[in-house]
Structure 1
């Protein structure tokens, strides 16, 4: 299906700590600690996520009881942290961490609503035989429950959604990136529709396919306009009296320079 939804019947309190391993946003690794509370009680499910750039590489879920790798980069981290001494410490600290968070942040988080921000951008794939990707990036929203739907030419798109990532930002907001496989055809209009409790009506952002020839014509037109203006400004004939003459098919117009006294 061409739609995605991240939902949770429980409220989520998210705290985060980050450690930069390199330069640039994509080289940043951080850990996010989450407590998911069921029906407003202190019964909590603890989740710890290890994020590299914008991708979750491994996570710990207290309902599972150990770390699970999502990518090959996260495999050595999961193996290292699945040692008994580390897990024993984690099991003992989860209840204290979530109980403290519940008492401190319950009143703040329950009624909080933050509107999402949307951006659409294309992403080229490495293989020429693989369709291009269109990414709908939805950021800075709270709570986590959100629906993201793709539209094509005004109709719900049933194309293949290849990735859906819901990640906490560590500042009491979330982000989601929904990637859609597409074959660009001139004139097609894609749209990302977002449903969230903070919005009175769904938010829709459009993206229109532009072929290489269309982009080239637009660039040529802009360059031609700029060159034409330069020629007009610098190349017009000027009389000895300082008057500039503009000629056209049936006459001429004389421009006199302004004088200030």
Structure 2
């Protein structure tokens, strides 16, 4: 009871004496996935920007972070009516709003164009550098994960933030530095609101420096052949126009 009285006094001070600089706030958050599984309500109580008590629907109870918060958490956790009210809030506040939010997002979502490629070939002890890039997607939230033979890779991974393209769409890039192994299968998994499930993208064919040289040499040869053929045709036409045909 004394704890409840102290909180009431704090609230009265906030309302009646704003000059003291006291500020108390209540914040509710809904965490959910597209399939509406693992729906979670987080309700936090803050005093002067310090969170002193929190309700977590996954835990099904309150947790206090200081003496006042711990005393109130214990009292509220021992009150069945209080805990039942929070279960009602989970459905009323989170489940209803989550369904509307998911519909609004999926109706306007744009799937990313994903490219997985090798940008630098490793030599000896130097690692190979791979890049997984996603372009032109909406909404902003996206997750890129590297896999090696189906197992997540977490080390030597560097990712950018979602970058605005300036046209309501976004792009993101994730870099992987690794030493390749024989027969290893590398892929990039992309999770986005536009996908009904995580999508896996395999490493695409990369063009090595030697292959690039071969292509350049081949292209040069083709261009040279076209030039020679054109020159021969022009020479033939000039010779033909200079001839006088004598009938037999």
Q: Give 1 or 2: higher helix fraction.
A: 2
More strand by share: 1
How high is the TM-score relative to the length of structure 1? 0.40
User: Larger RCO: Structure 1 or Structure 2 (Cα < 8 Å, ≥ 6 residues apart)?
Assistant: 1
Instruction: State the TM-score, normalizing by the size of structure 2.
Output: 0.41
Larger radius of gyration: 2
